[in-house]
Structure 1
Amino acid sequence: MSDVSQNLQLPSLESAIALSGSKEENLALLSRHTGTKVVLRGQSLDIRGQEKAVKRCFRAISFLQPYWEVGQAISQPDILTAFQAIDTNKQDEYRDLQQHTLAKTRRGEFIRAKTFRQRQYIKAIQKHDITFGIGPAGTGKTFLAAVLAVQALLNDDVERLILTRPAVEAGERLGFLPGDLQQKVNPFLRPLYDALYQFIDPLKLPELMEKGRIEIAPLAYMRGRTLSNSFVIVDEAQNTTPAQLKMVLTRLGFGSKMVVTGDITQTDLPTHQASGLVTSSNILKSVEGIGFCYLTEADVVRHPLVQKIVGAYEAFESRHAPKSAPQLRRP
């Protein structure tokens, strides 16, 4: 069967750059995924290959048009989700995903779900008072929760934003570190600060913290409290013990939301210690009002190599995991 070709004239150089990606990595992905040859010359895109493959590639590019026609950057997860929509006949769901922008960063970048599971995760947080987001690094668990939390705070839907995580590396005993409490815990809470800085001026963050609108603290400091009218994010929950996670879950007060995130493949607890995230997920999976979202390597929105690294580790660990290790039972 002879090859066919199809040409697409892009409306601007900005749209060509958005579609091709850094070093034309998006075009390379389109080629690999369809078996076609995709070449961009200026604003002219040529697709060559077998007829069925060319049509599939062109259809994926058409699905991505709402992004590239306005010069909006396209990531590899965007492309893979477009193919998933084609293969599973989820065109309407994909359009819904494209049309919903969560927020705009201080730099003017639009934040949106890039995969179907990320969209389900966002909907679960909006619907439930407690949501578990479980998956590998780079899937947007903490970042998307922080986006929704900041929105709730700035819209006065909640009075406080509370971000907490276990300081496992210091065994929750921080006294030997230099400085005051905030200086002691900052190294463990840095990822949470990074998410906040996308939306809140770093110069304004201390003022919000001083007023109690934003609180960032280690998990141990949640004991004995009732967290009302708050948006609570419990990060790195795989490093909690069952007792610790039960403690923080039962702190939830009226008018509050809680998002618990973690990666069960990166537990830093001693080998004999059960993870609170695994235990709580198995215990609470049937409790009405609690949402569970499971993200995978397909939802990784970092450097393409991160997705490959996650996949390689998952494959290795599934072959070598001890039979006695506690397993997360998905609903």
Structure 2
Amino acid sequence: MPHEVLSPPAEHDVPEIVLEYPDNRLLVELCGEFDRNLSQVEHALQLQIIRRGNQLVLMGEPHARLRGMEVLDTLYLRLEKGQHIEPGDIDGALRLGQGSAGETGDGQMEMFAASDVEIETRKKTVRPRTEAQKAYVKALFRHELAFGIGPAGTGKTYLAVAAGVNMMITGQVDKMILSRPAVEAGERLGFLPGDMKDKVDPYMQPLYDALNDFFPAKQVQKMLEEKKIEIAPLAFMRGRTLSNAFVVLDEAQNATTMQMKMFLTRLGEGSRMVITGDRSQVDLPRGVTSGLREAETLLGKVQGISFNYFTSKDVVRHPLVARIIEAYDAADERSG
């Protein structure tokens, strides 16, 4: 254990748990600037945490105190392994520690603390925060064609782009090609101002955002100019053979059956391909079959292709996003 418990466990109706951590330097990072990390845990668990020297005093409901101790231990273990703590890591620890019946998930907290899977990029090290993300990252490096399917905010595209950046900087591929279907969600392309690039760029912005997280901005611009990185609508892929490249198709639920077949058959020698999508956010016209759904049916048992699935428990955006997704899923089940 990373701490010494100086008061009895919470289930014995003691009003507080006192934790003492051995490394004061790590404790400072655990607490965060102006104790903001502790505040995040307090708010999430309806708990009060008081810092006294190298001790943390947890006060609140018995279950909340135990959960708080578990989350703080997990985060401290990450620090002991030389990792840093970001707000998303705290959200991840809070979410992973909670099973369906309010109990600790089997081995998930240990995996989160160990985080033995990571992706090195130019600007940062990216680590999966859930079991599903960990399996997905492994699949990205093990398979030539990988699917990541699940709701928004689960890191499908972000982790795929991070893996592509890693393969580029380590020389496994020569370039990256990032694509999305330019499907309108309420506003027609033709009504937007500017030339074709101006019309298309808003659809590609999430891919630019991910790249800028992993490369310095000037380097991204240079690689775009040199065509080492290409960001283009799905329609622009027709007729090409994509060799020695890391290729990502984002928002694949909005690809038609013909577009999906066209894209999948672009895979060339020495390339890796990742298809990401959310089956609940199809923007295709009524009656048009999603190519992602058909690909799942046809390719599910094809050797060399991996399918990884995410749920609301894997959401790494604001915790409220997970609750919103769960509410919509519940409504869909009732209407279905």
Return the alpha-carbon distance in structure 1 between the equivalents of residues 92 and 284 of structure 2.
Answer: 31
The aligned counterpart of 1:196 is: 211
1:99 equivalenced with 2:111 (yes/no): no
Q: Work out the CA distance in 1 between the residues paired with 2:49 and 2:282.
A: 44
Following superposition of structure 1 onto structure 2, how do residues 163-178 of structure 1 map, counting pairs within 5 Å? 163-169=178-184, 177-178=192-193
* Local SS of the residue matching 1:227: coil
Q: Output the amino acid matched with 1:46.
A: V
Relative to structure 1, the CA distance from residue 319 to residue 167 in structure 2 (aligned partners, 3 Å threshold; closer, same or farther) is same
Q: 1:38 Cα deviation (Å)? A: 4.1
Kindly indicate whether the alpha-carbon contact (under 8 Å) linking 2:31 and 2:37 is maintained by their aligned counterparts in 1: no
1:41 aligns with 2:59: no
Between the two proteins, the alignment pairs up a number of residues equal to 312
- What fraction of aligned residue pairs are identical, expressed as a percent? 40
Segment drifting more, 66-75 vs 300-309: 66-75
* Residue 87, structure 1, aligned to residue 98, structure 2: no
Compared CA separation, residues 7 and 162, structure 1 to 2 (3 A): same
- The answer for unaligned runs of 5 or more in structure 1 is 322-331
Q: CA deviation at 1:317?
A: 1.7
2:221 — aligned with what?
206
Q: Does 1:309 align with 2:324?
A: yes
User: Does residue 252 in structure 1 map to residue 267 in structure 2?
Assistant: yes
Once residues 156 and 306 of structure 1 are traced to their aligned partners in structure 2, the CA distance between those partners, rounded to angstroms, is 37
Superposed displacement of residue 181, structure 1: 3.6
| Mapped pair 1:298 → 2:313 | yes
The question of whether the paired residues in 1 share the 8 Å contact of 2:282 and 2:290 is answered with yes
Q: 1:82 to 1:27 in 2, by over 3 A?
A: same
| Corresponding residue number in structure 1 for 2:199 | 184
User: Paired residue for 1:58, among 37, 58, 69?
Assistant: 69
Cα deviation 1:188-237 (Å, max 9, x = unaligned): 10000000001222222232122221111100011111111110000000
Question: Aligned residue for 1:266?
Answer: 281
Q: Give the match for residue 134 of structure 2.
A: 119
Against the structure 1 CA distance between its residues 279 and 269, is the aligned structure 2 distance closer, same or farther, given a 3 Å change threshold?
Answer: same
User: Which segments of 5 or more consecutive residues in structure 2 lack a partner in the other structure?
Assistant: 1-10
Inter-CA distance 218–277: structure 2 relative to 1 (3 Å threshold): same
What CA distance in whole angstroms lies between the structure 1 residues aligned with 2:50 and 2:78? Answer: 17
AA in 2 matched with 1:8: L
8 Å contact from structure 1 (residues 15, 68) kept in 2: yes
TM-score of the superposition, structure 1-length normalised?
0.84
Q: CA deviation at 1:2?
A: 4.8
Instruction: Give the secondary structure class of the aligned counterpart of 1:311.
Output: helix
Kindly state the Cα deviation for residue 16 of structure 1 after the two structures are TM-superposed.
1.3
Query: In the alignment, which of 41, 57, 67 is matched to residue 26 of structure 1?
Result: 41
Aligned-partner residue type, residue 41 of structure 1: R
